[in-house]
Structure 1
Amino acid sequence: MNLMQGTAKYTTIAAWASAVARALRASGVDPESVYEDAGLSLTEIERAPDSRIPIENMTLFWEAVESATQSPAFGLAVGRYAYPMHFRSLGLLMMTSETLARAFERLPDYYALVSNSASIKLQRTPQLIGFTITPLNGIEISEMAIDAFFATLMHHGELMIGHSNFIKTVELIRESPKDESPWQTCFNCPVSFEQQVNCLWMDRSMLEKATMMADPKLAMKNEHAVRQYLEKMQALSWHEKTSQAVHAMLVDGEPCLVKAAQIYNLSERTLSRYLKSEGTNFRTILQEKRKELAHYYLINSELSITQVADKLGYTSLSNFTRVFHLWYGLSPSLYRLQSHSSANL
């Protein structure tokens, strides 16, 4: 059994996995064997819903789900069986928010309660709000998990405002399936595949109307519970916490100590002191993460060397090449060539 209590860096809340069990039972599939195939125990998950499951096991789990159901679209069905309780206090916080817009605005701050393996942000236009999920580079997240989460958000929104017409279009990174109809039917709007991001585009005017379950006092109580859970969940060293923060920040731009400290509601000086007590500092952690991701991009992507340098925040290709040579003793291009040659032997 691989349930973790803060020992794995990238995890998903166990209660979320139990929602999948409900969907499997409803489709006539015994969930016990599916969980076992991923090294999980449904009994233990239901006994400890606030525990954490390593993201590697969740990805294996989704593979087992697809194999058992013979449906690459099964994640969409999970949305109907993922109740607010499966997101614990975060689900209740969403449901008691004053508006659906406010509920979605809170999610990027607290999504780590569900999973800390992706970056979440909102995009805004005068008419639309876009909710995007970007898996952290080097972290494998099942496409079915993205489908399930988007379908769940739609159904939760439907509970709050009485309909799901607020979804206007959906963009997915996944390859175009042979049959696109399950996605079109689920979201009842245009769905495009092979996009740059996973994004749920929603009607802004509908999201900003008061919801049927709004309760500001209860929302405040639920928000406090979410914060308490996240503090308990982060039983990692400050080195590990800061490394996670750097990984997430590299998705959107240049990481810095100030932003990392803000993520954990600390001052820059306090985070520096914590890191120093563990024998490290922000600059060292940033270099460690850049080294890790440089290897990942060169081996697992088709990005040019210049694009890799840009993604890692280097101002010039020459700077990246110089630092990379210090790390690995050869140039990025030669490193990629040798790695690919070894893989083909």
Structure 2
Amino acid sequence: MTSKAIVGSYVLVLADLLDRRGLDSKKWLRDSGLEPSSLDQPRQYLDIQEVTNAIRTAVKISHDPALGLYFGQQLNLNTHGLLGVVGLLSSNVGDSLEAGFRYSATRSPLVDLRLTESGNDAIIHIALNTDVPDDIERFTLESLIYSFGTMAHFLFPGDIPPVTVEVSIDKPPHAELYSILYRSPLTIRFNAHSNRIIFPNEVLKRPLPLANLQTRKLVEKEVSEELALLTGDSEQENDIISRVRKLITEMPGYYPSMDEVAERLAMTKRTLHRHIEKSGTNFKKLTEEIRFKDASHYLNDTDLSVTQISHLLGYNDSSNFTRAFHRWSGFTPLQYRKKSR
């Protein structure tokens, strides 16, 4: 069971909803064991038990089992922090969703979101990353579904396409509210095998009115760093090392700088250095490993001269290549070629 479920600022959105219903949100927070002053702090997460207590208490004092639907209506792009900004500045709907799902763990490690296409349909897949009680699962799914509807209405008022929603939960007593509250024609199917939102894939190509790719790139770097801090385990580090290797090798004869690789990975040079260092190596060693592999290939499998190979590896002077190769292998390039053949 994951220790982190949602970022604390979402609780403040729910508190505001309760206040507007005439309820005492401060008492609700106290009764839920939460401290209001800490909830708007960056990277302040609630664990699943805290989320469960807060949601159940909110539903109880509101006397509204459909509270998740109304909560989802409050979750516009501006409630999703920097991730919402990345989505808002993206070039089109597809890019916005891809970015949002790639970094969704910065808002809720509890939820996994994927986007696929099948025929003329675009499909948003929703899965919870841990077991939660049925009432919390329903609240979470209802919030997500109606958050997508709220964001779509904000971006394209009056022009939201028909949507089909499939959810694995049982049909609740307030099922009729699903269609009443949604902002476009909605088909809802309960007791499905999985949780999906299905809509015409032409929507993915719709341009966004506030697209600004330059600013998005800057914001995305911060979001990427936040994700790296959140999921900074060995698997994450290994994944980043694999991506660095791929970027270094994708253009034969050209070895990008650390600044270039960091930019391609949407993170700062400092953050990239920290990830590589955690894996027990450094950027120079990674580049030299790949250069050695390339050099070995040229010496073993081609008849290129040492001078030609040195130029392919980015050395202006073949003597520098010879010294580097001797450091890597213990042989000069010619000795290595003779030995290998």
Measured against the shorter chain, the TM-score band is 0.5 to 0.7
Question: Against the structure 1 CA distance between its residues 138 and 168, is the aligned structure 2 distance closer, same or farther, given a 3 Å change threshold?
Answer: closer
Measured in 2, the distance between the counterparts of 1:26 and 1:164 equals 29
Q: Which amino acid aligns with 2:242?
A: S
Measured in 2, the distance between the counterparts of 1:210 and 1:229 equals 27
CA contact (8 A) 1:161 1:212 kept: no
Q: CA deviation at 1:164?
A: 5.8
Measured in 2, the distance between the counterparts of 1:266 and 1:58 equals 34
The number of equivalent residue pairs is 247
Cross-structure match for 1:98: 91
- 1:62-73 matches, cutoff 5 A: 62-73=55-66
Q: Within the alignment, does 1:58 sit opposite 2:51 as a pair?
A: yes
Q: Deviations over 1:179-215 (max 9, x none)?
A: 3111111224111111122211122112311121211
CA contact (8 A) 1:154 1:164 kept: no
Q: Deviations over 1:108-146 (max 9, x none)?
A: 211101111232212312222111111124355532122
CA contact (8 A) 2:164 2:187 kept: yes
Gaps of 5+ in 1: 1-7, 246-259, 277-345
TM-score by length of 2: 0.65
Q: Within the alignment, does 1:147 sit opposite 2:142 as a pair?
A: yes
- 1:174-193 matches, cutoff 5 A: 174-187=169-182, 188-193=185-190
Cross-structure match for 1:201: 198
1:261 to 238, 241, 249: 238
Cross-structure match for 1:16: 10
CA contact (8 A) 2:166 2:188 kept: yes
Q: Deviations over 1:249-289 (max 9, x none)?
A: xxxxxxxxxxx833xx233999999689xxxxxxxxxxxxx
Q: Within the alignment, does 1:36 sit opposite 2:30 as a pair?
A: yes
Q: Within the alignment, does 1:130 sit opposite 2:127 as a pair?
A: no
Question: Against the structure 1 CA distance between its residues 199 and 58, is the aligned structure 2 distance closer, same or farther, given a 3 Å change threshold?
Answer: same
Q: Deviations over 1:128-184 (max 9, x none)?
A: 211111112435553212211221122112222234623511111221012311111
Cross-structure match for 1:300: none
Question: Against the structure 1 CA distance between its residues 167 and 213, is the aligned structure 2 distance closer, same or farther, given a 3 Å change threshold?
Answer: farther
Q: Secondary structure at the match of 2:192?
A: coil
CA contact (8 A) 2:74 2:150 kept: no
Question: Against the structure 1 CA distance between its residues 75 and 139, is the aligned structure 2 distance closer, same or farther, given a 3 Å change threshold?
Answer: closer
Cross-structure match for 2:230: 233
Question: Against the structure 1 CA distance between its residues 134 and 205, is the aligned structure 2 distance closer, same or farther, given a 3 Å change threshold?
Answer: same
2:21 to 17, 27, 52: 27
Gaps of 5+ in 2: 246-274, 281-341
TM-score by length of 1: 0.64
Q: Which amino acid aligns with 2:110?
A: S
Question: Against the structure 1 CA distance between its residues 110 and 71, is the aligned structure 2 distance closer, same or farther, given a 3 Å change threshold?
Answer: same
CA contact (8 A) 1:12 1:114 kept: yes
Question: Against the structure 1 CA distance between its residues 110 and 163, is the aligned structure 2 distance closer, same or farther, given a 3 Å change threshold?
Answer: farther
Asked which structure has the greater CA Rg, the reply is: 2
202-211 vs 139-148, which moves further = 139-148
Measured in 2, the distance between the counterparts of 1:210 and 1:237 equals 36
CA contact (8 A) 1:22 1:81 kept: no
Q: Which amino acid aligns with 2:34?
A: L
Q: CA deviation at 1:37?
A: 2.8
The percentage of counterpart residues that share the same residue type is 15
Q: Which amino acid aligns with 2:149?
A: M
CA contact (8 A) 1:18 1:86 kept: no
CA contact (8 A) 1:15 1:50 kept: no
Question: Against the structure 1 CA distance between its residues 185 and 112, is the aligned structure 2 distance closer, same or farther, given a 3 Å change threshold?
Answer: same
Question: Against the structure 1 CA distance between its residues 83 and 237, is the aligned structure 2 distance closer, same or farther, given a 3 Å change threshold?
Answer: same
Measured in 2, the distance between the counterparts of 1:266 and 1:24 equals 46
Q: Within the alignment, does 1:82 sit opposite 2:75 as a pair?
A: yes
